[in-house]
Amino acid sequence: MAIAIPHRQLFIDGEWKEPARGKRVPVINPANEAVIGDVPAATAEDVEIAVEAAHRAFHRNGGREWSRASGAFRAKYLRAIAAKIKERSSELAKLEAVDCGKPLDEAAWDMDDVASCFEYYADLAESLDGKQRTPISVPMQTFKSYVLREPIGVVALITPWNYPLLMATWKVAPALAAGCTAVLKPSELASVTCLELAELCKEVGLPPGVLNIVTGLGSEAGASLASHHLVDKIAFTGSAETGRKIMTAAAQEIKPVSLELGGKSPIIIFEDVDIEKAVEWTLFGCFWTNGQICSSTSRLLLQESIAKEFTEKLVAWAKNIKVSDPFEEGCKLGPVVSEGQYEKIKKFIFTAKNDGATVIHGGNRPQHLKKGYFIEPTILSVEDTSIQIWREEVFGPVLCVKIFKTEEEAIELANDSQYGLAGAVISKDLDRCNRVTEAIQAGIIWINCSQPTFCQAPWGGIKRSGFGRELGEWGLENYLSVKQVTEYVSNDPWGWYQSPSKL
């Protein structure tokens, strides 16, 4: 299907601006490797003016035009953006699918989530007004104390390509709800829908500079944004490797960061499950979004007594997954995002085989697809848990299976990871599910499912999966600073020092 990629510029101070050096990054359709457009590539000069615009917008008119306006005022813009997303959701879904390769039905689902997330944070922006000046009980009656929740300032929002508009929204919506002004830097591998968000912001009349969107390379646009002295906080989603660079940049200016990084999450299947249902959740937990999910439950821990039957069914179901162009009816697995990712995943599979893992399904490009970055849903059985494929994040459609005997062994295997983003447990015994939930070291646990995510519930990891929480009320807190106000309410003098007049 031919989709026209709109020709856009950088979005700075409410206007489209050509990148200072005139550079652009090609947009490649991963399903056929064709160049279908380009997006502007910002450099340090562009980032400079974007951050200055955000800084001006934060302080304009003493903050009364945005940062110190009521939450209800800001909520109107968030709702207007949500309405525009809904109006254009079908077109946005197509742009997203052609840009990053995810099946069109999934992209359409993401656009619904984007609109809901803006609406949700509009509600929270309104309720923020009622949470200002909440009294704090202090033990001396001569004092009154309360807190003000204030926007943290200018925030840098740096996002990945697997859910291009949704990951941006998880940051943009709460940041604007809180009263921050922002510079968003989406991934160079999929920025098209984020530039469309800019167009929607223009249409709803968002005050200039409140949201600036600078596309371009991480090493240029991203790095200069992360190290800018006028940025008050960095919210980052991406790889652990880049997360480390972001922390290093932030450390120079003692700047807060929140990091949503990668994972290698376990899914534990006990012998009492309904096998067909558990098989479906296992596949969804790993192959949804073309296997490119940070919280992908890509380490399957399978109880020994059902291992043979479960694996046979798993393979049979995996064979049934339709791998095709994202626009084909019934597509359930599209191409991975880029040639770089395709080569990286193939190398992971090659190394896994050399390391002794056994491919029980997939491992190659599907024979019917000659072009595009397609990889079959791949299932590998693993004995030795020290090998790379068991320990490192693939970020592609690759599931590893390991057999366990007891609950204790399953928990030990699950926690033997540098990551701690998510985990899933599947069993009819809810007591066991609760025990395992408490024992798994992760920020998100699914019971009898894997992956469903709601914008009301907190999202984030522990260990090398990062820190800080997005979504829910926690997502708003990310962009707020708490100011303590304490007032002396007695008419009596404080009385610590003696007045010279009494001597």
Gap between the Cα atoms of 78 and 101, Å rounded: 28
Residue in 53, 122, 223, 413 binding ligand NAD, rule: CB under 6 A:
223
Q: Give the count of residues interacting with ligand NAD (CB under 6 A).
A: 29
Cα dist. 26→47, 192, 221, 287, 379 in Å?
20, 11, 16, 27, 33
Query: Per rule CB under 6 A, is residue 417 in the interface with ligand NAD?
Result: no
Contacts of 411 (CB under 8 A, 6+ apart): 268, 436, 439, 440
Q: Applying CB under 6 A, does 294 fall inside the site for ligand NAD?
A: yes
Would you count residue 185 as binding ligand NAD (CB under 6 A)?
Answer: yes
Catalytic residue chosen out of the listed positions 96, 119, 260, 477: 260
Query: Which residues fall within 8 angstroms of residue 155, CB to CB, at 6 or more apart?
Result: 171, 175, 180, 181, 182, 183, 231, 232, 233, 234, 235, 479
Geometric angle at alpha carbon 217, from 213 and 219, rounded to 5°: 120
Q: Angle at Cα 463 formed by Cα 343 and Cα 466, nearest 5°?
A: 70
Minimum CB separation of residue 434 from ligand NAD in Å reads 25
Q: Could you tell me the two tokens for 401?
A: 């299976």
The reply on whether position 237 binds ligand NAD by CB under 6 A is: yes
If binding is defined by CB under 6 A, does position 475 make contact with ligand NAD?
no
260 forms part of the interface with ligand NAD (CB under 6 A): yes
3-class DSSP state of 300: strand
Q: Candidates 60-68, 99-107, 240-248, 271-279 — which segment interacts with ligand NAD by CB under 6 A?
A: 240-248
Tokens of 424: 């899933």
Active-site residue, 409 included = no
- Binding residue (CB under 6 A) for ligand NAD from 52, 119, 188, 325: 188
Binding segment for ligand NAD (CB under 6 A), chosen from 92-100, 128-136, 219-227, 400-408, is: 219-227
Examine residue 421 and tell whether it contacts ligand NAD (CB under 6 A): yes
Taking alpha carbons only, the member of 180, 185, 171, 153 closest to residue 74 is: 180
Binder to ligand NAD among 9, 116, 159, 215 (CB under 6 A)?
159
List the one residue out of 50, 92, 67 whose CA is nearest residue 149. Answer: 67
Binding segment for ligand NAD (CB under 6 A), chosen from 84-92, 119-127, 220-228, 482-490, is 220-228
Determine, following the binding rule CB under 6 A, whether residue 397 of this chain makes contact with ligand NAD.
no
Both tokens of residue 146?
């309360």
Q: Would you state the structure tokens that stand for residue 464, as one six-digit string?
A: 């090398």
**Closer Cβ to ligand NAD, 44 or 369, answer by number:** 44
Question: Does 160 interact with ligand NAD (rule: CB under 6 A)?
Answer: yes
Token code pair at residue 223: 């790095």
Helix boundaries (H) for 152-203: 164-178, 192-203
Cβ at position 118, least distance to ligand NAD in Å: 18
Q: Identify which range of 42-50, 65-73, 75-83, 242-250 contacts ligand NAD by CB under 6 A.
A: 242-250
3-class secondary structure, 212:
strand
Indicate whether 222 belongs to the interface with ligand NAD (CB under 6 A).
Answer: yes
Q: Which residue is nearest to ligand NAD (CB)?
A: 218
What is the DSSP track for 293-324?
-TT---EEEEEGGGHHHHHHHHHHHHHTSPBS
Answer yes or no whether residue 306 interacts with ligand NAD by CB under 6 A: no
Continuous H helices in 440-484? 472-477
- How far is Cα 94 from Cα 3, in angstroms, rounded to an integer? 7
Among 66, 288, 395, 479, binds ligand NAD (CB under 6 A): 395
Picking from 221, 210, 159, the residue whose alpha carbon sits closest to that of residue 54 is 210
390/395 with CB nearer ligand NAD: 395
Of 23-31, 197-205, 233-241, 369-377: span binding ligand NAD (CB under 6 A): 233-241
CB of 348 to ligand NAD, least distance (A): 13
124 binds ligand NAD, rule: CB under 6 A: no
Residue 372 found at the interface with ligand NAD (CB under 6 A) = no
Minimal distance in Å, beta carbon 394 to ligand NAD? 10
CA angle 64, 132, 482 (to 5 degrees): 90
Q: Is residue 377 part of the contact set for ligand NAD (CB under 6 A)?
A: no
162 contacts ligand NAD (rule: CB under 6 A) = yes
CA end-to-end span of the chain, whole Å?
93
Could you list the residues that contact ligand NAD (CB under 6 A)? Answer: 158-162, 167, 185-188, 218-219, 222-223, 226, 237-239, 242, 245-246, 260-263, 294, 393, 395, 421
Q: Which residues are catalytic?
A: 260
